[in-house]
C-alpha cells in the first residue's frame, strides 16, 4: 500500500493506493496515527480512488481511524470509493457511519458540515 499526503487549506488529504490488507495495515495504522497527531489537523479526507483491495483487516483499520478521529475532534471523510471498496462500505454499513463523497473537494465540504 502506498500513502501520499497533501496539506491543503481545507485540511489534510491522504491518498491510498494499492492494497490495504494484512501486509499494509501496520503501515497504514502508523501513518494515520501520525496524521491525527499533526498539530492543527481539524479535517482529514482519505481518497481511496486508487485503492485496489481492502481486506477485513483494512476495513477494521479504517473504522479504528474513524473512532480515533472522532475522539480527537477531527472531521473524517472518504472519497473516491469504487468497485470492491464501495461494495465493502455498502455491505458493512459504513455509508451510515462515515461521510463519503465522490471527490476530495466534496468530501471536505461534507466533513465541515458534520
- Quote the mean pLDDT of the chain: 92
Whether the Cβ atoms of residue 19 and residue 28 lie closer than 8 Å to each other: no
Q: What is the pLDDT of residue 1?
A: 87
**Average pLDDT of the residues in 13-37:** 90
Query: CB-side exposure of 26: number of CA atoms within 13 Å?
Result: 2
What is the residue extent of each domain of the chain? Answer: 2-113
- Burial letters 85-95, b for 16+ CB under 10 A, else e: beebbeeeebe
User: 2-113 in CATH: which number?
Assistant: 3.30.750.24
Whether the Cβ atoms of residue 49 and residue 15 lie closer than 8 Å to each other: yes
**Average pLDDT of the residues in 35-46:** 78
| Tens of pLDDT, residues 62-105 | 999 999 999 999 999 999 999 999 999 999 999 999 999 999 99
pLDDT at 38 over 90: no
Q: What is the pLDDT of residue 17?
A: 95
**Average pLDDT of the residues in 34-57:** 87
Q: What is the pLDDT of residue 101?
A: 98
Amino acid at each position: 500500500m502506498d500513502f501520499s499526503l497533501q496539506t491543503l487549506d481545507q485540511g489534510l488529504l491522504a491518498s491510498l493506493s494499492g492494497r490495504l490488507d494484512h501486509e499494509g495495515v501496520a503501515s497504514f495504522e502508523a501513518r494515520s496515527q501520525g496524521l491525527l497527531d499533526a498539530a492543527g489537523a481539524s479535517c482529514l479526507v482519505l481518497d481511496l480512488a486508487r485503492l485496489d483491495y481492502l481486506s477485513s483487516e483494512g476495513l477494521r483499520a479504517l473504522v479504528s481511524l474513524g473512532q480515533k478521529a472522532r475522539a480527537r475532534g477531527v472531521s473524517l471523510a472518504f472519497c473516491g470509493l469504487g468497485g470492491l471498496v464501495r461494495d465493502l462500505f455498502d455491505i458493512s454499513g459504513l455509508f451510515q457511519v462515515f461521510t463519503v463523497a465522490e471527490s476530495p473537494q466534496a468530501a471536505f465540504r461534507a466533513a465541515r458540515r458534520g
